[in-house]
């Protein structure tokens, strides 16, 4: 028994099955036969359906065995399995695990270092990753949390065209944390277009 899934549209009703028996694995006296192009041949004896499939050098596949009579379709089952396997591989390639990168900085960070951090964050965001920005307070710096909050807000503005603030700056112990997430591609393109149309842009 081959285990796959397949949508079959029959008379406007969608049927789902997980077990797809093929050829002699099908146990039925008669079946509702669907041709390779999707048209209905009608209800025929199982042996007749098997003969038609064999004449065309194709397989008889039970796509809705719970129906009465069971629904079978003529198809190249080997080709179908190959196409499904290829589609699954392509889908897995497109899937990407989003990781969270961390950038640490101090409230007293120099401007040059700030710009370096901002570029690194932009690179992570463009790669599709989220970024956790951790601002570390030391000594008496903790009594001025507003300085750190302004710094993180400035950082968020620096990358606003490609990022959204998923979690606003929040003080946790002696650290202030902000999480940035990449914007959807459509929003990025829109922001780029607005920047190009802005007065003074070249």
CA 17 centroid distance within chain: 24
2-79 and 100-184 share one CATH topology? no
The region, left, alpha or beta by phi > 0 then psi within -120 to 50, assigned to residue 37 is: alpha
Q: Given this model, what pLDDT does residue 190 score?
A: 52
Does the structural domain 100-184 have CATH classification 3.40.50.300? Answer: no
For the chain, the domains span: 2-79, 100-184
Q: Given this model, what pLDDT does residue 83 score?
A: 85
Architecture of the domain made up of 2-79:
Roll (3.10)
User: How far, in Å, are 2, 33, 52, 101, 105 from residue 44 at the CA level?
Assistant: 23, 7, 10, 61, 74
User: How far, in Å, are 116, 126, 171 from residue 130 at the CA level?
Assistant: 17, 10, 19
pLDDT tens readout for residues 83-123: 888 888 887 777 666 789 999 999 999 999 999 999 999 99
Q: Given this model, what pLDDT does residue 2 score?
A: 39
Question: d(Cα 16, Cα 136) in Å, to the nearest integer?
Answer: 55
Q: Given this model, what pLDDT does residue 91 score?
A: 79
What residues in the chain have per-residue pLDDT under 50? 1-18, 192-193, 196, 198, 202
Q: Residue 158 in contact with residue 116, Cβ under 8 Å?
A: no
In 21-131, where does DSSP find H-type helix? 46-55, 77-94, 111-126
Q: Given this model, what pLDDT does residue 199 score?
A: 55
């Amino acid at each position: 028994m081959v285990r796959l899934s397949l949508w079959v549209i029959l008379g406007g009703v969608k049927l789902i099955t997980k077990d797809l028996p093929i050829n002699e694995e099908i146990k039925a006296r008669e079946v509702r036969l669907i041709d390779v192009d999707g048209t209905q041949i009608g209800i025929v004896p199982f042996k007749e359906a098997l003969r038609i499939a064999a004449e065309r050098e194709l397989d008889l596949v039970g796509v809705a065995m719970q129906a009465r009579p069971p629904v079978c379709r003529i198809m190249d089952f080997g080709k179908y399995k190959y196409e499904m396997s290829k589609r699954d591989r392509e889908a897995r390639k497109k899937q990407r695990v989003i990781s969270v990168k961390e950038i640490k900085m101090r409230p007293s960070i120099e401007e040059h270092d700030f710009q370096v951090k901002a570029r690194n964050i932009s690179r992570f965001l463009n790669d599709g990753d989220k970024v956790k920005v951790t601002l570390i307070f030391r000594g008496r710096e903790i009594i001025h949390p507003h300085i750190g909050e302004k710094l993180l807000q400035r950082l968020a503005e620096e990358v606003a065209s490609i990022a959204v603030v998923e979690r606003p700056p929040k003080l946790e112990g002696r650290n202030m944390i902000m999480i940035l997430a990449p914007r959807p591609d459509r929003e990025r393109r829109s922001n780029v277009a607005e920047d190009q149309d802005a007065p003074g842009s070249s």
